[in-house]
Chains A and B, each alone.
Chain A
């Protein structure tokens, strides 16, 4: 019954006992967790986009990376980065549309670089601003620099990852706190589908102000219905409209506030289907378009990388499988995301404040090391 017991154990094991386990056991447990996470990612998507919110996905990824740091065998920062890069590659390959995972891998790699630099005594600032000369001379040798062993590195990296986790947990609140600066009394706000960040943002504003929200239902998944129910429960005056009515209603709207799945390197969005229509309608009526996007959604990816950009799910929602003969005569597609070009966006609100789309490249370079853009 050995295998059986180990199965149960791996479920019930608490984090504290993990450190006392013998090495081999630790490693199988770790790889089991990684495989489970990968399998989850692969199945992650019941058609309505990710099963969990991307915030949760970011936290889960980071927690797993922290576990890898703590339990994997490595002696220098270089080893650790290699391990994390490998696992990160597998994770992003498992579900390319889930960009948050890759972003968190890049954040952790950046943390390791910084901690290594700090342990060596050089300040972060000098390391970051590499001169053109330095770039040319050091080139491919940069990995060589991470071979030095520091006893305290592991603890430092884990602590830094913990800080990152704390930051992640506060993102939605940080964004919601800025709501009163953007939403004024008796305004008409339009949104589309359901974004947890926007939901929190509107609810926060509703504590002090009275305004009207119009929710585009976002067919075929109609997450907009859930959004509207949730908002009206919070006492916000809410109207649901069909996606086709977006343009017609836009003339009455003061502001459009939306969430997004990813913020791309050029300041564009990869957001739920229908957002492009909404953005164009807003542009036509010169209505400001505000995007609530926590920093972890920033991805160093450009929109022309066609292969990983799109996600097509089962066409069931568009034309149900229960239909008979017609299905063999037509092609049915059900894409999940839209690309929204940066020129249609007025403002990004992230957990560290508001930014224009043109500033995204700068935030990106602060968040990720240029060598980590390609995992």
Chain B
């Protein structure tokens, strides 16, 4: 039976990007549906009535919500190709821990680099760099967070790379200058087609953030 896979998404969403990358890694054919978050489709409201958020993966009519949960689901369903989580339980626990850390810390901090000003923005910048440095420590000398192969933690983190340009412009800093190891890892990930095809151009993201700032009265 042919699988029907639909992804409800929004092009600048870093959470949506995770799912795009995971599906590409597994070679899954799917229908991409762009949502207008100011005018959510009946399908989105039906498939995610609790949070009304994207991404939502709809697999043979059944919805899976929350990007980290979706990526694990994809790994478990399409298990014959490109394993995303390690097979060892301890390594899996470590991977889940770090994705949870990224979810708890990275995005709020990143957002504050462009939607605050003055001292709050300075603090946001410092905090963001600290978070990246903590992640760099985890990476160590490995090519990817999982070791030799690209996996769950890499997928969960790399989407921030296309947003960095916007963060750097508004908060006036350089991630590459402060975190060269992270940047090297990011560029390595971008070499993969599953990643480069799933992330929008950083200039397009910058334009999107500029629009958001206007809406928040920051421009």
Chain A bound to chain B: no
Residues of A participating in the B interface, judged by any CB pair closer than 8 Å:
none
Residues of B participating in the A interface, judged by any CB pair closer than 8 Å:
none
